[in-house]
């Protein structure tokens, strides 16, 4: 076999590997990989992550309607608080024409 054949083989192999990596990245990016979802949708979510130092992170996890605070380290994990209820957020009512008009009058000089 000639050098040209080996070059074509190598380039084809690189192209196939690049396509596989791109496809794997897309699956991971858009969450199309292995999904274990129940009828109600996703049950587990990471709400917030805060760095404590270079090796440890505080992670607030939500499962169903309960949150859990976990300290993750390089070699260990520690449950800080469990069973945190979701905070109640006030429901914002839609603007009515009267409220909108009065808000406009207040902002004008």
Distance (Å, whole) CA 47 – CA 52: 16
pLDDT 10s digits, 56-106: 999 999 888 889 999 999 899 999 998 888 777 766 655 566 666 666 676
* Residues 84 and 52 occupy one common structural domain: yes
| 54: containing domain | 40-89
By percentage, how much of the chain surpasses pLDDT 90?
A: 33
Distance (Å, whole) CA 54 – CA 74: 10
Rounded mean pLDDT, 37-58 = 81
* Residues 45 and 84 occupy one common structural domain: yes
* Residues 29 and 50 occupy one common structural domain: no
* Residues 18 and 3 occupy one common structural domain: yes
* Residues 57 and 28 occupy one common structural domain: no
DSSP-derived secondary structure letter, 50: E
* Residues 44 and 84 occupy one common structural domain: yes
When divided into structural domains, the chain yields a total of 2
* Residues 21 and 50 occupy one common structural domain: no
Distance (Å, whole) CA 51 – CA 58: 6
Environment class of residue 99 by beta-carbon count within 10 Å: exposed (0-12), middle (13-18) or buried (19+)?
A: exposed
């Amino acid at each position: 076999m000639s050098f040209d054949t080996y070059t074509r083989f190598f380039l084809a192999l690189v192209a196939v590997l690049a396509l596989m990596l791109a496809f794997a990245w897309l699956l991971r990016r858009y969450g199309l990989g292995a999904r274990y979802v129940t009828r109600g949708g996703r049950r587990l979510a990471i709400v917030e992550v805060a760095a404590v130092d270079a090796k440890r992170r505080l992670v607030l996890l939500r499962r169903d309607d309960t949150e859990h605070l976990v300290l993750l380290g390089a070699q260990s994990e520690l449950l800080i608080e469990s069973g945190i209820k979701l905070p109640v957020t006030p429901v914002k009512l839609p603007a009515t024409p009267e409220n909108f008009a009065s808000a406009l009058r207040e902002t004008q000089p």
